[in-house]
Amino acid sequence: MTITLAPRTAAHVSIYWNKTQDEEIRRLLPSAAQSEEQALERFRQSLLPGASSFGRIILVDGRYVGDIWCYCIDEKEEKSAMLSYCIFEKSCWNQGIGTKAAALFLELVFERYSIDKIGAFTYASNQPSIRVLEKLGFDFMEEWEENGVLSRYFQRKRNSFTK
């Protein structure tokens, strides 16, 4: 199995939006976009110079199975970004794809941006996502409840990144 990353296109954003409307995925992954058009607009903004977000698609043996991106990129003050990812093809769950894709993406992000740390939020019930973060050297920072849902925040510093 070969896992690679590739640039996102508007077509990918539409596929991603539709695939992630699945009830099981929605329970695992919060979404900032409330509509496909809003997701497409956010994508268009990510292509502008100085954009605060950057993403790639995840391919397994050339097949599009998910997305990975960072947002809230701040190279000036906090020197940080936030990480998010989703494998929307359920047949690809629990195979190490998220871990490998995130490792590739982190290498790219730390080379591309002048940041010192990257954070990630996940629902406390999303154990596969927590395992990905832990395998990649993210440290648990805090836990809280919002609207009846328990969430966790993890963080990884640049100096803990090794190729």
pLDDT of residue 31: 66
The pTM of the full predicted model, rounded to 2 decimals, is: 0.90
Residues in the chain: 163
Q: What six digits make up the tokens of 158? A: 């640049």
- Residue 156 burial (CB count, 10 A): 19
Question: What is the pLDDT confidence band of residue 10, given thresholds at 50, 70 and 90?
Answer: very high
Residue 44: pLDDT over 50: yes
| Packing angle of the helix pair 97-112, 127-135 (nearest 10 deg) | 50
Domain 3-115 has CATH 3.40.630.30: yes
* DSSP sequence for 10-52: HHHHHHHHHHTTSHHHHHH---S-SSHHHHHHHHHHHTSTT-S
Q: What is the DSSP code (8-state) at residue 101?
A: H
pLDDT of residue 160: 63
pLDDT of residue 163: 44
Residue from 139, 123, 140, 13 nearest 69 by CA: 13
